[in-house]
Amino acid sequence: MKKTATPEEKEISTPEKIATVLRKRDFLNEVVEQSGIKKKDAKPVVETMLALLGDAIARGDELNLPPFGKLKINREKHLDNADIYICKLRRRRVIDGSAS
């Protein structure tokens, strides 16, 4: 017999916010704004970091990078023109600016 979700369970599993796309340009601007460093200094660091993260995922490495979280690859599929990775990301929940 299939168990149906209670209203509380449905409410928890439903996203409260519509996801947006964070582009590299916007990410770089956020890094510059929050760190206070110059864009010309931040750009090579951000690009290198993104390349290293991509390489680690492609190798199948598990990432443990606080406060980003812990990323584990569940499945991968290799196509002619792309590789697809299904990942699980676990992050600490932050309430009122402190980790819980």
Least Cα distance to 34 among 1, 8, 67 occurs for 67
| Beta-bridge mates of residue 72 | 88
Domain boundaries, the chain: 20-59, 63-95
The per-residue pLDDT string of the chain (100 residues; one tens digit each, 9 = 90 and over) reads 555 555 455 455 555 778 899 999 999 999 999 999 999 999 999 999 999 999 999 999 999 999 999 999 999 999 999 999 999 999 998 777 665 5
Exposure string for 18-41, b = 16+ CB within 10 A, e = fewer:
eeeeeeeeeebeebbeeeeeeeee
